[in-house]
Structure 1
Amino acid sequence: KPAGHRVTRLKYHGRDVQDDQVLTIALNRYRASGGGHYPMYTSDKIIKSSDMTISHVIMEYLQKHPVVEATVNHNFEIISDSDQSN
């Protein structure tokens, strides 16, 4: 399917995301500037930036939380066209 028509259903916190709904997402600087053939992301839309690397953020988190309980959230699902009933 062409860009803009690949996602057919999207939920956030159990509710359908509306076409006019605005979500804030976290991206690395490369992707947030349109890298990797994602021109819909541009530097002028960045609302918060950090010089810390992702690995540094994870390191700091693990230092503050030495025991991390791993859980399965099942919060992401890919459904092919043939799996969709509507």
Structure 2
Amino acid sequence: AVQNALSCRIEFIGNDPNLPLITDIFFSLIEQRDELVLKAKNIRIEAEEQLIVASRDAKTHYDGKNNRVTTEAKYINSQAEKSQKIQGAIIAIN
């Protein structure tokens, strides 16, 4: 919360200092910000039907309902230091 300049409150369940509860941080996330940094060993985002990650006209659409991932952009660059594998029952290029 500090790195992203989010406002939050720390309350304690039953006034027990061993049971902290961070509140109001969600409302700080929905405000317009220039940057939001998430740092963790692992980050997992789950959506039952769809998840869209977008920046202007570039986007990746994860469709859990139809089990499909679609990436759209003017330029798409994919690099690998070692091997890069493309696998599918049908592979269409142009």
Name the TM tier (shorter chain). under 0.3
Q: TM-score, normalised by structure 2?
A: 0.21
- In terms of fraction of residues, the more helix-rich structure is 1
- In terms of fraction of residues, the more strand-rich structure is 2
